[in-house]
Structure 1
Amino acid sequence: MTYQGVLTKMNTEFLDPIQYYLVFESDFINLNQMLGKTITLEFVKYQCLNCGLNKPIYRQGFCKSCFFDVPQAADWVMRPELSTAHLDKEDRDLAYEKKVQLQPHIVYLANSSNVKVGVTRKSQVPTRWIDQGAHEAIEIVEVPNRYLAGITEVALKEHVSDKTNWRTMLKNDIKDENLVEWREHLKQYIPEEASEYFIENNTETNLQFPVTKYPEKPKSLNLEKTKNYTGKLVGVKGQYLIFEDQTVFNIRSNEGLVVGITVN
């Protein structure tokens, strides 16, 4: 069976295990059903997620000109502390920025390769944790806008990591942590503006990923260079496909590529 479409972040369902879907314009693939099967990935062309043109992807699924123009790729997306919609101040598109920034946000701890702090919209819990390949996570603070979440993250990352080691995450070289204890320890470092939003009583969320074999030495597939690749799918974790020969393919970092997928 053969499919073709432009890659976008995999859709997920929070089940046991997590269910993963590749969604194309007129079709979708439940990747859990593909485990154990041989899959061929073929690079076809580019398709910018904004303009739709066949132009090399620069970052986040956008061609270079769109990346520096669309509000979805503005600096505040990666650095929430730069959000200004609460001040009624426009960056690229105030209507879009108000829609995204002026809604409840969560500051959380997630354990994927190590304990890290992060920010997401409340509506994206637990999707954000799934995308990071976290096997456990907990909310620390729930604030009414992205700016407050951002300054809280900046304060907390002085005392806990804000990065995930993707190789460690994929090797499953991890350990369980008591995230409630971490939450209580970090409480003292929350900025005064956000301190009233601290979540006093909650428990960590545990996540199970559909992986039958973890790679010992994961090697990343660059489909733009190799053009096609064939391998046996043995797992999906975070936004990565994991193959039996230890090759891994990051769907998220390849958004905007049009690919052909053949399942044998």
Structure 2
Amino acid sequence: MELQGICHKMHAGLKNLSVTDQQTHKANVEYKFILDRSEVDLPFNLGQEIEIEATGNIYCISCGTKTPKSYSQGHCFKCMKTKASCDMCIMKPETCHYHLGTCREDSFAHEVCFQPHIVYLANSSALKVGITRLGQMPTRWLDQGATQALPIMKVGSRRLSGQLEVMFGTQVADKTDWRKLLKGEAEPVNLIEIRDQLIEDFAPKIQSIRDEFSQHLEFNETVELLETELPREFVYPVDEYPEKIKSHNLDKTPVIRGKLQGIKGQYLILDTGVINIRKYTGYELKIRI
């Protein structure tokens, strides 16, 4: 069997959702490939030998232009320099500059940046704090390979969520160690206890940020504590984790082969190494059993 098309990040969804001990939502994670913007059931199972080939063709996921190199996860150079979705404030939301009148695209700001956002705690390679749009739960956690997650705040804008993330980041990491992520499951932590302690420790600063953003009434930039949310737990389809991490690079080795041992985050775990599928957004790939 062979599939061919323009690669996008895998779609991760949940199945077999359950509530354990009335305190935690737990679910298994399942994946679909996205080729040419259409969902495709994974054409292979754990334990099967697969081959992935990069044809050498790369296309911008925004304008469709063929490009010699991919920028900002699938864009051509022109779109990377002009699209709001490629601006630095996407990586660092606290630097959002819409209020300064310098946003690249007003429509993008209203469709994305001024939508409700969630500040959350997650456990991927270790405890971390992060943000995501309300509609991106649980996708954001699954893309990061989190085994536990807990929403702790709902806010009115991306910049506001970024300010809170930076604040919590002085005490909790905001990055995931991808190598540690792929070596096994993170040690479980009590997210509710951690949430309650953080809210107590940062209460004065949270109020200060609330006061600052309450001046922007036109954007409804409010802060709501999510004190009744339950933690989520996720189980990924992994038979075996590697002892040593070797990363495949399709730019250097266009054809890779191996037995599929697992999928976690946006990584395929093969017995020959791991590959980050999201990294190759915009690449034309051939996938064979």
The TM-score with structure 1 as length reference comes to 0.93
CA distance in 2, matches of 1:132, 1:158: 21
CA distance in 2, matches of 1:253, 1:146: 24
Whether contact under 8 Å (2:156, 2:223) holds in the other structure is no
Residues 60-108 of structure 1: per-residue CA shift (max 9 Å, x gap) = 11122221111111122111112244x4834110111111011110000
Which of 74, 79, 83 is the equivalent residue of 1:66?
79
| Pair 1:122 & 2:138 matched | no
Whether contact under 8 Å (1:88, 1:94) holds in the other structure is no
CA 1:240–1:213: 2 relative to 1, 3 Å = same
CA distance in 2, matches of 1:26, 1:102: 26
| Alignment size in residue pairs | 261
Structure 2 equivalent of residue 91 of structure 1: 103
Structure 2 equivalent of residue 2 of structure 1: 2
Which of 12, 25, 43 is the equivalent residue of 2:54?
43
Which of 72, 79, 93 is the equivalent residue of 2:92?
79
| 1:20 CA drift (Å) | 0.4
RMSD: 1.8
Structure 1 equivalent of residue 119 of structure 2: 107
| 1:48 CA drift (Å) | 1.4
CA distance in 1, matches of 2:115, 2:38: 32
CA 1:173–1:233: 2 relative to 1, 3 Å = same
Which of 218, 224, 235 is the equivalent residue of 1:197?
224
| Pair 1:234 & 2:261 matched | yes
Structure 1 equivalent of residue 186 of structure 2: 174
- Unaligned residue ranges in structure 1 (runs of 5+): none
Whether contact under 8 Å (2:238, 2:264) holds in the other structure is yes
- Unaligned residue ranges in structure 2 (runs of 5+): 16-26, 211-221
| Pair 1:243 & 2:270 matched | yes
Give SS of 2:193's match. Answer: helix
In terms of mean alpha carbon deviation, does 31-40 or 69-78 score higher? 31-40
Give SS of 2:182's match. Answer: helix
| 1:161 CA drift (Å) | 0.2
Residues 147-203 of structure 1: per-residue CA shift (max 9 Å, x gap) = 210100011100110010001111115200011111112113252234952222222
In terms of mean alpha carbon deviation, does 124-133 or 193-202 score higher? 193-202
Whether contact under 8 Å (2:44, 2:50) holds in the other structure is no
Whether contact under 8 Å (2:54, 2:285) holds in the other structure is yes
Q: After superposition, where does 1:5-16 map in structure 2 within 5 Å?
A: 5-15=5-15, 16=27
CA distance in 2, matches of 1:260, 1:5: 7
Whether contact under 8 Å (1:109, 1:137) holds in the other structure is yes
CA 1:208–1:53: 2 relative to 1, 3 Å = same
Residues 97-150 of structure 1: per-residue CA shift (max 9 Å, x gap) = 111011110000110111000010010011100000000010111011112101
Which contiguous aligned blocks of 4+ residues in structure 1 show a shift greater than 6 angstroms? none
| Pair 1:18 & 2:23 matched | no
The TM-score with structure 2 as length reference comes to 0.85
Whether contact under 8 Å (1:240, 1:248) holds in the other structure is yes
Whether contact under 8 Å (2:147, 2:185) holds in the other structure is no
Which of 145, 151, 165 is the equivalent residue of 2:157?
145
Give SS of 1:18's match. Answer: strand
Give SS of 1:106's match. Answer: strand
Counterpart amino acid of 2:12? Answer: T
Counterpart amino acid of 2:85? Answer: Q
